[in-house]
Amino acid sequence: MLCASAAERNKEPILSVLRECVDTNRPLKALEISSGSGQHVMHFAQAFRNVTWQPSDVDSQSISSVQAYKNHLKLDNVNPAIYLDASQSWESWGGVQPESLDIVVNINMIHISPVACTHGLFKGAGVILKPQGLLLTYGPYAVNGVITPQSNVEFDYSLRQRNPEWGLKDVSFLNSLAEENGLFLQKIVDMPANNKCLLFRKESQV
C-alpha cells in the first residue's frame, strides 16, 4: 500500500467538494482515472457507500497498491483496479461503456502527464458520462495565462524541465476541451495549497 502525503492531506478537502454535488440516495457509478496509491478512491468509497468505484491507473505499481488497499479495507463498493491509459481512446478503457457513468474523478494527473492524456480524459469523459454526469479534476492550474503564487510558477518550471509536455494547464484551455466534448465548466472551487477543483457537467443533449 503506497502512501502519498499529498493525497493524505487533500483527500478530505476533495471529499468535501464531492459531498456538495454527489447524490447519496441512489446507486451511482464512478471511475477514477490515475488513482495512484488508491488513497482517494478508498476514502471516497467509505464516504459514499451508494457509489460503485472503479479505480484505474497506467502504472502497475499503482494498480497493485490500490488492490492492496481494497483487500485491507474489504470495501465491496470498490472494483478491482484496471489498467487505463488516459492518452488512449476510451474504447481501450477496460470495457467501460458510453453513457454508463455518473462520475469521473481525476486528481493530480493533468499537470504531470503529456497533453494527450488531458485530451483523452475530456474526450473519454464526454462519451462515458451519462447526461448531467460529473467530471471532477483537481490540481494546480493557470488562470487566463497567469500562474499564482510564485511557488506554483516554480513548480510549473520544474515540471517543464523534467518533461516539456508537462506543466500547469490553463483553465480556459480545459474549458475549451470540455466544450468540444459536450461538457461545460460548472464550478471552480479554490482548494488548500493553491490547488483547485474544476467541476464539469455533461450537457443533457450532446
Ligand X SMILES: C[S@@+](CC[C@H](N)C(=O)[O-])C[C@H]1O[C@@H](n2cnc3c(N)ncnc32)[C@H](O)[C@@H]1O
Please report, as ranges, the residues that interact with ligand X according to CB under 6 A: 4, 7, 33-37, 57-59, 62, 84-87, 107-109, 112-113, 117
Distance in Å, CB of 184 to ligand X, minimum: 24
| Nearest distance from C-beta of residue 173 to ligand X, angstroms | 18
- Smaller CB distance to ligand X: residue 4 or 17? 4
CB-nearer residue toward ligand X: 37 or 52: 37
- Helix axis angle for 171-180 and 115-128, nearest 10°, is 40
Shortest approach of ligand X to residue 142 CB, angstroms?
Answer: 18
Minimum CB distance to ligand X, residue 111 (Å)? 8
The residue (of 21 and 58) whose beta carbon lies closer to ligand X is 58
- Judged by CB, which is closer to ligand X: 44, or 200? 44
Closest CA to 192 of 151, 145, 134: 151
- Using DSSP's 3-state secondary structure scheme, residue 17 falls into helix
Q: Report which DSSP code applies to 161.
A: H
Query: Which residue minimizes CB distance to ligand X?
Result: 36
Closest alpha carbon to 138 in 12, 47, 50 = 12
- Torsion over CA of 52, 203, 179 and 147, rounded to 10 degrees? -60
By the 8 A CB rule, do 147 and 165 touch? no
Is residue 125 within 8 A of residue 52, CB to CB? The reply is: no
Tell the smallest beta-carbon distance from residue 77 to ligand X (Å). Answer: 19
Nearer to ligand X, 108 or 181 (CB): 108
> Which secondary structure element, helix H or strand E, spans residue 173, and what is its range?
helix 171-180
Of 21, 16, 61, which Cα lies nearest the Cα of 43? Answer: 16
